[in-house]
Amino acid sequence: MFSFILNKLNEIKSFSYYFLTPAPYSIGNIAQDILFAKLTTKKKIFLITIYFMQKSLRYKLINKSILNDLTINIQEYSKFEKVFFNIITLLINIEFVFKRIIALKIKDIFDYNLGEKYLFPQVGWVGFHKIPNKLKIYKSNLNQITLKKESQLICKGLIDRISNGRRMVCLHIRDGKFRKDYHRRSFRNSNINNYVKIINFLIKEGFYVIRIGRLAKKRARIKSNYFLDYPFSKIKSDLMDLYLIKRSKFLICNVSGLLDVANLFNKICFITDGNRVFETTSINKKSRSILKKIKKNNKYISLNKYINYDLKYHHYLYPSTDCQFQEHNPKELFKYFKSFYYRWERNTLKKNNKIEILFNKVLKKRLKRIIKYETYEGTSDRNFYNYILFMCKLKKFHYLTEYLKKNYI
C-alpha cells in the first residue's frame, strides 16, 4: 500500500520529491537505479534503504555506504525533510517485512515464486519495464552525484599515506569468487595475471595501482610498493569500495557491478574482455571498450558477423549460446591499453575517430532491427528493449579504434 502511494506521488509533476527503493542485494543494481533516477528527474530524491530483519528474511544489504554516504541532491535535506524521510523509510520497511514473510512462506511450502515485487519494494526507478516512449534525460545531473565530504575524508588520509602522493588508478578484473560462478557463467570472468604488464607499465608511469573488488580467487603476481591487492588487504570497507573508484583517474575493468558504480561517478573507463556488445560500454564519452575474442564452432568470427546474430546472442540475461569467448593474451591487452592510455594522456578520447563513429552507427542500426523485428523465445521482451533504448539515449558506444581495426574491418 505505501509503495503504491509513493509511486503515485512520483508520477505527479508538481510534487517536489522522488522516492526510490533500490534492490539491496546488488551494488550494480543499486548504482543503476540511483543513476537512472537521477538522469530522468529534476525532483529531490529520497533514497529509501531496506534494512529490517536481514538474517530472518534471508537477504543481505550488499553495501551500506552506497545508500548512506552518497550526495545525490544539490540541496541538503532540511530538518523537516529528515523527519519525513525517516517516517517514510520506517513505513516501507514494515510493509516490506509483511510482504516478504508471505512470499518466503509460499516459496517454502508450495515451491512457488511470487516474483521480485513481493520480495522487495519497487518504488521509483526499478528495472526497465516502465520506461515511457518519450523520456527526457538530464545529462547535467550526472555531476551532482558524489560522496559526502566527511565520508571522503575518512578514506583520504589512509590512501594518501600508502600512495605516497602518486596519482591513482584502479582495476577490477572479475573472477568467479564473488558470485561463485566459475562453471555457470565463467565467460564473464578474466585472469588478473593477464594484466600484470599493464600494472607494471602504470607503476613506471608514476601511478599507484589498486586492484579493487571485495573478493578474489587469487593474488596478482605483482611485487611493488606502488601496488595494492585490495581484496587481500586489511583496509576493505563498504565506504572504501566507493572511494577508490571515485578517486581513481580512470578505471580498468570488466563488465560488473563496479562498472555501474563508475558510471554513477561518471568515471572514464577502459572496459576489457566484454562478451555482450550492447553492454560493454560506459556513459562517459572518454571511455573505451573491447570484447573478448569470439568463436563459433571453434572458429574465430568477426565482430560484424557477431552483431548480426539474432537476439539470444545479445540478451542481458546471458542465455547459453554456441559462442565461446576467449580472453585476450597479455600482449594483446597491453597493446590495446597503451592505445587508450596515450589518448587519455593527450586528452583526445572525447572525440570519436572515424571508425568509432561508423561502428556506433552500425550498432544503432542493429538495435533498431532488434526492436522492430526480433523477439526472445517467441515473446516481446520489453525489459530488454527498454534497456537498450535507454542506453542509446544516454550514450554512444565507445569501442577502441585499434580493437575495431583488427576485429571489425
**β-strand 251-253 against 269-274: which pairing, if any?**
parallel
Domains of the chain are 2-141 (no CATH), 148-267 (3.40.50.2000), 286-325+338-409 (no CATH)
Cell numbers at 301, concatenated: 568470427
For 315-363, how does the pLDDT look when each residue is reduced to its tens digit (9 = 90+)?
A: 766 555 688 888 999 999 999 999 999 999 999 998 888 999 899 888 8
pLDDT digits (tens, 9 = 90+) for 94-124: 999 999 999 999 999 999 999 888 899 999 8
Q: Average pLDDT for residues 207-218, to the nearest whole number? A: 91
Across residues 185-208, what is the average pLDDT? 90
- CB distance 264 to 28 below 8 Å: no
Q: What is the pLDDT of residues 151-170, one digit of tens each?
A: 999 999 999 999 988 999 99
Whether the CB-CB separation of 258 and 32 falls below 8 Å is answered with: no
Locate all alpha helices (DSSP H) within 205-349, ordered by sequence: 238-247, 257-264, 303-307, 330-345
CB 348 within 8 A of CB 398: no
- Has residue 129 got a pLDDT over 70? no
- The 8-class DSSP code of residue 277 comes to T
Beta strands 70-71 and 44-47, pairing class: unpaired
CB 201 within 8 A of CB 334: yes
Q: Which residues contact 284 (CB under 8 A, 6 or more apart)?
A: 263, 266, 267, 268, 269
Q: Which residues contact 290 (CB under 8 A, 6 or more apart)?
A: 271, 272, 273, 274, 280, 328, 336, 399, 400, 403
Confidence tier at 375 by pLDDT (50, 70, 90): low
Is pLDDT of 380 > 80?
Answer: no
| Cβ atoms within 10 Å of 404's Cβ, excluding its own | 17
Cα separation values, 263 from 74, 171, 258, 325, 343, Å:
19, 14, 9, 25, 20
Cα(78)–Cα(76) distance, rounded to whole angstroms?
6
